[in-house]
Amino acid sequence: MSEEIDRWVRFMKEHPKGWKKVHSEFIDAQFDKSTKFMNRLALSKGGRDKIISAYHIKNVKGYARLLR
């Protein structure tokens, strides 16, 4: 793990003006992947219950969009 951090710090130092765009694209991609996975899981058999269990959701009505 520390090697990845060292590489990232080096990249930030070598690209002081361009690293933020790369970082933002990476973070956005992570959120996009997570959303797509949750949508696929919600559509699968027992997926809704798996999401509720994994996130310890008590107020299911509060997550209508997530658990449609």
Per residue in 18-31, pLDDT (tens digit) is 999 999 999 999 99
Q: Domain locations in the chain?
A: 2-63
The position carrying tokens 């930030």 is 12
Q: How confident is the model at residue 68 (pLDDT cuts 50, 70, 90)?
A: low
Backbone angles phi, psi at 64, to 5 degrees: -55, -40
Q: Cα(24)–Cα(36) distance, rounded to whole angstroms?
A: 18
Mind listing the pLDDT tens digit for each residue in 31-50?
999 989 988 998 899 988 89
